[in-house]
């Protein structure tokens, strides 16, 4: 009898304690909000930028007498380039593949200087060759590793090439400038890094071939019209650039309510 009474009292005390604990405030804090992970980097979008670098290679000269090659030679060229860039990239959804188009226009100080007394390539008057400006229109193909984009590129190249001489005195046959816009091709590779969602930096190499330019000096035009020259400039360009990408085609980041 006494044992049964004690057991009943213990059960009653336990039930009362459980009920009292249920009424006490919880020590747990509010649920922790976990923001969604940021979207993966995307290279899709239009961009503009600036670039600068150094270029040079060889200018190959030929001299023709009545259409027959009678002499040839080459000079080394070098100088700086710098200007603007514009382009568009598209990254295929759920993949790392990026394709794009890019164009640029650079001013140039690249020049080959002829110091020989009779001119490289058999000309009676030596002349220098200068690349006044340089532009490209290229396709790009890359494989993105998140914020890093290695790529290859290639397309058309354009440049204004000036053959000129500035000598002593005012001899109209010894001082001249003959220029033309040349068209050729370019190919190369580079790597670009997204510093932020909009800002990226890059470094690239391009080989440029501007084709062959035919020209006559004023003296040859007046006294030896059957003679002419040709020059064939090529360039190896190493340059760095910075680009700013616009978000016109980037979907907005979804808004997640906080509770």
Q: Which residues contact 189 (CB under 8 A, 6 or more apart)?
A: 150, 151, 152, 153, 204, 205
* 255 occurs within a structural domain: no
- The structure's pTM equals 0.77
pLDDT (tens digit per residue) in 116-156 = 766 776 555 678 899 999 999 999 999 999 999 999 999 99
* 30 occurs within a structural domain: no
- CATH number at 203 reads 2.40.160.20
162 pLDDT more than 50: yes
Q: Where in the sequence is the domain holding 188, given as residue range(s)?
A: 45-245
* 63 occurs within a structural domain: yes
* Secondary structure letter of residue 147 according to DSSP: T
pLDDT (tens digit per residue) in 64-76 = 888 888 888 889 9
* 101 occurs within a structural domain: yes
Asked if 191 and 202 touch (Cβ cutoff 8 Å), the reply is: yes
What is the number of structural domains in the chain? Answer: 1
**Considering only CA atoms, which of 214, 230, 68, 202 is closest in space to residue 140?**
202
Q: Which residues contact 29 (CB under 8 A, 6 or more apart)?
A: none
* 256 occurs within a structural domain: no
pLDDT band, very low/low/confident/very high, at 223 (cuts 50, 70, 90): confident
* 32 occurs within a structural domain: no
Q: Provide DSSP, 231-246.
A: EEEEEEEEEEEEEEE-
* 17 occurs within a structural domain: no
Scanning 131-227, the segments in alpha helix (DSSP H) are: 218-223
Length of the chain: 259
């Amino acid at each position: 009898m006494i044992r049964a009474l004690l057991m009943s009292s213990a059960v009653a005390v336990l039930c009362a304690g459980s009920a009292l604990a249920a009424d006490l405030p919880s020590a747990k804090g509010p649920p922790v909000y976990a923001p969604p992970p940021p979207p993966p980097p995307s290279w899709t979008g239009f961009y503009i930028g600036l670039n600068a670098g150094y270029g040079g290679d060889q200018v190959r000269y030929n001299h023709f007498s009545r259409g027959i090659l009678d002499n040839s030679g080459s000079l080394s060229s070098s100088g700086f380039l710098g200007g603007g860039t514009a382009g568009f990239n598209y990254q295929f959804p759920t993949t790392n593949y990026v394709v794009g188009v890019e164009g640029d226009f650079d001013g140039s100080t690249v020049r080959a200087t002829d110091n020989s007394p009779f001119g490289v390539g058999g000309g009676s008057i030596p002349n220098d060759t200068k690349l006044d400006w340089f532009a490209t229109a290229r396709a790009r193909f890359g494989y993105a590793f998140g914020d890093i984009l290695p790529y290859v590129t290639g397309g058309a190249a354009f440049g204004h090439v000036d053959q000129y001489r500035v000598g002593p005195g005012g001899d109209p046959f010894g001082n001249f400038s003959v220029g033309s816009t040349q068209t050729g091709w370019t190919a190369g590779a580079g790597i670009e890094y997204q510093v932020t969602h909009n800002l990226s930096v890059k470094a690239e190499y391009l080989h440029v071939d501007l084709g062959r330019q035919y020209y006559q000096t004023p003296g040859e035009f007046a006294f030896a019209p059957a003679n002419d020259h040709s020059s064939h400039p090529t360039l190896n360009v190493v340059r760095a650039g910075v680009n700013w990408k616009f978000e016109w085609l980037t979907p907005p980041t979804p808004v997640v309510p906080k509770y």
